[in-house]
Amino acid sequence: MVKFAVLGCGVVGSGVVELFEKNKALIEKRCGQELEMGYILDLRDFPDRPYGNKVVKSLDVILADPDVKVVAECMGGTEPAFTFVKACLEAGKSVATSNKELVAAKGDILLKTAKEHNVNFFFEASVGGAIPIIRPLHKCLAANDFTAIAGILNGTTNFILNKMIKENMDFSTALALAQEKGYAEKDPTADVEGHDACRKICILSSLAFGKHVYPESVHTQGIREVELKDVERSSELGYTIKLIARVQRLENGKILPTVMPMVVEEDNLLSQVNGVYNAVMVRGDGISKAMFYGRGAGKFPTASAVLGDMIEEVQLDHTIPAQTWENVNSTDFIEDFAAFTAKRYFRVSGEDAAALNAVFGNLASISAQDGETVCITDKEMNADDVEAAAKALNGKGIQVLAQYPVLVS
């Protein structure tokens, strides 16, 4: 008999408890041994729920019980989650978490602690909810030399952009609808400003390239400034606007992680990911590219991923060496955003195609109407190139109204 504990009984924590109770026999069969939910750590009481008698107020109770081998951390945030998880690992208890903020900020320390105590710190649920992506990166695709990862990693922003695309809603109206449906928090900052997606690409970057990437090293831009007009006009050219979290390895060996709105070609599968769904595209020398798609959040999808990690942890008697990355004191392996280049979408005032060609050279596509022109450049541009182009156009009496980088297939 193996006991497990759950830290935090909010949305995800209660989902872990309920899904375990629902599928207990099946989970035990797959574990190969009996499991018992030993404790739920929470400041609240749950007298009306069947697991109310499992609630404890102190982590010490869990740490002191040698039969607790696995802990699910579902509290969220960095503290006290970090202190609690580290204490559990030091007590010889493996931990599974859905907490992307914790993994992005402290993953290197917790992985090192787990290794030192011959246990595991797993976090499949921290990126993409029920989508399996962490385990494939360090297991199924472990023979690959990764070159890039790009994805739609935040369901809230994808829902908002989808409403703007399909129903011609402006940003504020789409955000209000997302909040009404429970897809966005009352304070949506982490989602719409890109912080949530940033934490997730930090985790994927760290795992794929072997060194801890902190959120502060990621150029992050959200969707609050995306205008309905650009959503509509980009579609005329065969593109759609998505919040893309991406990391690529450059020719100099450095990596460049970014989060920002990008216009995506219609033949790229990421352009077809709608609503609250997430998707991750992985590029490697052995696979060319592989895509992972599914529900990126929600009570039971996330609980499913947490329990999947817990099942594996129960089966293990050693630390998995592949699911790790280095603790680093330098960010010299991360390229500055100034080196980022991409083809660009521009929306400008006027309908002077000749002037645009004079500044940009050949254009991949162009469309003019209602006194404005949109175009896709044929050449890749960095931030300095964009600034220089804007100055050149201004000299011709043309104002740049919006610009976005292009994500190609």
Which of 200, 211, 379, 391 does the annotation list as catalytic?
A: 200
Q: Is residue 200 annotated as part of the catalytic site, yes or no?
A: yes
Distance in angstroms (rounded) separating the CA atoms of residues 152 and 155:
8
C-alpha to C-alpha distance for 225 and 180, rounded to whole angstroms: 21
Beta strands in 275-396 (DSSP E): 277-284, 288-295, 344-349, 363-369, 372-377
Residue 199 to residue 181: CA distance in whole angstroms: 24
Helix axes 100-116, 195-209, angle to 10 degrees: 30
With 0-12 / 13-18 / 19 or more C-beta atoms within 10 angstroms meaning exposed / middle / buried, residue 51 is middle
- The pair phi, psi for residue 53, each rounded to 5°, is -75, -5
Nearest to 295 by CA among 86, 173, 130: 130
Whether 222 contacts 193, CB under 8 Å: yes
Q: Which helix (H) or strand (E) holds 72?
A: strand 68-73
Sign (positive or negative) of CA dihedral 43, 47, 51, 53: positive
Closest CA to 174 of 224, 219, 218: 224
Half-sphere exposure of 57 (CA within 13 A, CB side): 3
Separation CA 326–CA 111 (nearest Å):
9
Question: With contact defined as beta carbons under 8 Å apart, do 40 and 73 qualify?
Answer: no
Cite the active site residues.
Answer: 200
